[in-house]
Amino acid sequence: MQIDIISCVPALLESPFSHSILQRAQDKGIVQVQVHNLREYAVNKHRQVDDYAFGGGAGMVLMIEPIVRCIENLQSHRQYNEIIYMSPDGELLNQRMANQLSLQENIIILCGHYKGVDERVREHLVTREISIGDYVLSGGELAAAVLADSIIRLVPGVLSNETSALSDSFQDDLIAPPVYTRPAEFNGWSVPNVLLSGNQKLIDEWREEQSVARTHKRRPGLLAK
Ligand code: SAH
């Protein structure tokens, strides 16, 4: 899978893909993440990618031309399943969408900045718009990193123990059960005995019960499904 992220502040995306699971996914050759600097597709020598909004008002708008040039350059190398624009008014990201996107071959993620992008980009180029929540960020970069992370960890082969993604919250409309590690006793706070019992059947049953109880308490809406 290839994920191409288009940004006018690419430095914001350096760290998230350079460590831990996301770095290993790339090292294993399962996923390629490339960040493209919109300024390299600027239409003039001032590397301008934004301009004042027609009709006035505060805040700059990302121009359509650099975005088209960048997308066309990417499309000359491969076909894309989706061109996603990160947007606070897009579809709210959830695990089901991450699962679905993890099955795609190639994805472009476009990050807005300032007031957003020229609306014609959304009308004519973008195939999907995704939000990471009902709040406004300064730019789409952090949202793109969240989206890409949620997708990449689901691509087969990325997590060494593949069942570990399956047992995560939301994967089966249940919240994950609590987890503990050593020491078994700290400050008088002890780990549930069943987890130390060595009886895998009992442990599995306990985890299932905990998941259902937690889902009832924290996300009852999931059980209604
Ligand atoms: N004026 C816009 C917000 C622009 S914020 C509005 O009121 O809707 C600048 C950029 O940050 C957006 O173009 C988008 O790419 C990104 N962004 C902000 N909040 C986001 C969110 N909740 N989810 C995804 N992207 C977001």
What residue's CA is closest to ligand 1, atom 2?
115
Report the DSSP pairing between strands 2-7 and 106-110: parallel
* Residue 225: CB atoms within 10 Å: 5
Question: Cis (ω within 30 of 0) for the bond into 183?
Answer: yes
Binding-site residues, ligand 1, Cβ < 6 A: 86-89, 111-113, 115-116, 131-133, 135-137, 139-140, 143
pLDDT score at 161: 76
Q: How far is CA 129 from CA 38, 41, 112, 155, 158, in A?
A: 19, 22, 11, 21, 25
pLDDT digits (tens, 9 = 90+) for 23-58: 999 999 999 999 999 999 999 999 999 999 999 999
The CATH-assigned architecture of domain 2-152 is 3-Layer(aba) Sandwich (3.40)
pLDDT at 225 over 80: no
C-alpha 222/C-alpha 69 separation (Å) is 42
Per-residue model confidence as pLDDT tens digits over 177-190: 999 999 999 999 99
Contact 108, 1 (CB under 8 A): no
Give the nearest ligand 1 atom to 93 CA: 23
Strands 60-62 and 50-52: antiparallel
User: In which residue ranges of the chain is CATH 1.10.1270.20 found?
Assistant: 167-223
The contacts of residue 5 (CB under 8 Å, 6+ apart) are 13, 33, 34, 35, 36, 108, 109, 110, 111, 141, 144, 148
124 Cβ contact list (under 8 Å, min separation 6): none
Among the listed residues 8, 4, 3, 35, the one whose alpha carbon sits nearest the alpha carbon of residue 112:
8
Atom of ligand 1 nearest to the CA of 110: 15
Q: Which CATH superfamily is domain 167-223 in?
A: tRNA(m1g37)methyltransferase, domain 2 (1.10.1270.20)
Interatomic CA distance for residues 188 and 108, integer angstroms: 51
Unique residue bearing structure tokens 């937690």: 214
Q: 68 alpha carbon to ligand 1 midpoint, in Å?
A: 19
| pLDDT > 70? residue 176 | yes
Closest CA to 174 of 224, 116, 124, 122: 224
The CATH 3.40.1280.10 domain(s) of the chain lie at: 2-152
Which of 136, 141, 147 gets mutated to test ligand 1 (max ligand atoms within 8 A of its CB)? Answer: 136
* Tens-digit pLDDT profile for residues 129-146: 999 999 999 999 999 999
pLDDT at 162: 62
- Counting atoms of ligand 1 from 1, which one is nearest the CA of 85? 15
Report percent pLDDT > 70 for the chain: 99
This prediction's pTM:
0.96
